[in-house]
Amino acid sequence: MALVTTTKGEMDESLLEKKEGVVDNDSEYTTWVEYWLDGELVHRSAHVQLKKAVVLSAEAASFN
């Protein structure tokens, strides 16, 4: 029996409707999971993996 933390406390996963999704693009790889109870969203978690780092280009002038 898997328990899920919800807005109504810990609930057995089998009592809930589960929805999952993935977003995969150039910027991120994201997964999310939702649990619904009688049409009400009672849990949503998301996991984002950033793909685009921030790059600072450094330069030094030359004298020639």
Partner 1 sequence: MCTSFMNELMTATHNFTTGTGNTFKAALYLTTATQNAATTAYSSTGEVSGTGYSAGGVTVTNGTSPLSTNTSSTAGTAYWTPSASITYTAVTLPTAFDAVLIYNSSASNKAVSVHTFGSQTITAGTFTLTMPANSTTTALLRLATT
Interface residues with partner 1 (CB under 8 A)?
5-7, 23, 27-28, 30, 32-34, 41-60
- The residue (of 49 and 64) whose beta carbon lies closer to partner 1 is 49
Residue in 57, 5, 55, 56 with CA at minimum distance from that of residue 34? 5
Q: What are phi and psi of 13, to 5 degrees?
A: -55, -30
- The residue (of 1 and 53) whose beta carbon lies closer to partner 1 is 53
Q: How far is the CB of 62 from partner 1 (least distance, A)?
A: 10
- What is d(CA 41, CA 13) in angstroms, rounded to the nearest whole number? 13
- The residue (of 15 and 46) whose beta carbon lies closer to partner 1 is 46
